[in-house]
Amino acid sequence: MRQVIAIGGGGFGRSIGDLLIEKYIIKQCPQLNPKICFIPTATGDDQGYIDNFYKAFDSLGCNTSHINLFKRTFDLRSFILDQDIIYVGGGNTKSMLAVWRDWGLDLILKEAYDKGIIMSGVSAGAICWFDKGITDSWAEHQGTIKCMGFVNGTCCPHYDEEPERIPYVEKILKDGDLNSCLAIEGYAALHLVDDSPKYSISFKTATNCHNVSYIDGSIIHEPINGTIKINL
């Protein structure tokens, strides 16, 4: 079974808190004390972010590790394929993907995904699994970039959290640059199973995932087809 858990915003990167979404991710893994690897490339391997990862997942009984691509780097393929869960942090998606592709990490992650290792992450770590993602990697504007294409669709995180997101999504829909967008609000996550959306998860009151489209002159927000809503 292939799984992606894409988080629109929130989680241990902001505060350790109740770790609701982190516990949900772990529950999807049949292994006791699963091996989970954090990839914080999008922040340039920020040490504070790495520290929060260990605080969060060590407290949940996981076997934790991380990959630092800005120091001497070990054999990535054997290390990644030995994990149960991958968690990708937020930050600059464009820079993250460029570094990954140079190292061949995108191909290794695809092999791991096909093997059944759970792929998860927030913000940059949410959109990277899709065909395309909406990102603020540029300081001046939002943009749409090609991602790794493990699952179909264009994904927008932070949909309700950052004021530039909704206007940008509406613009590219109206301009015909996009037919629809999978929009994930902060403190919400989209759980895909075998390449298809299955669960829309809220880990804070009244947060949602949407399929956003432009039909007959109107922007339409609908539940993502086929998903079951879960409130943590």
**Tens-digit pLDDT profile for residues 38-51:** 999 999 999 999 99
pLDDT at residue 16 in the model: 84
Strand-pairing partners, residue 118, are 85
Say if residue 140's pLDDT is above 80: no
C-alpha neighbours within 13 Å on the C-beta side of residue 38: 29
Residues acting as catalytic residues: 123, 158
Kindly report the average pLDDT of the chain as a whole number: 95
Q: Taking the C-alpha atoms of 98, 103, 107 and 110 in order, what is their torsion angle to the nearest 10 degrees?
A: -80
Q: Name which of 31, 37, 23, 27 is nearest 119 in CA terms.
A: 37
Q: Name which of 230, 190, 228, 187 is nearest 209 in CA terms.
A: 190
* Average pLDDT score over residue span 181-203: 97
pLDDT at residue 71 in the model: 85
Q: Which percentage of the chain shows pLDDT scores above 70?
A: 100
Q: Which residues contact 229 (CB under 8 A, 6 or more apart)?
A: 199, 200, 201, 202, 223
Inter-residue contact 38 to 66 (CB < 8 Å): yes
pLDDT at residue 139 in the model: 66
pLDDT of 148-161, one tens digit each? 999 999 999 999 99
SS3 of residue 79 by DSSP:
helix
- pLDDT band at residue 78 under the 50/70/90 scheme: very high
Higher pLDDT residue, 141 or 133?
133
pLDDT at residue 15 in the model: 78
Domains annotated for the chain, with CATH where assigned, are: 3-231 (3.40.50.880)
pLDDT at residue 2 in the model: 98
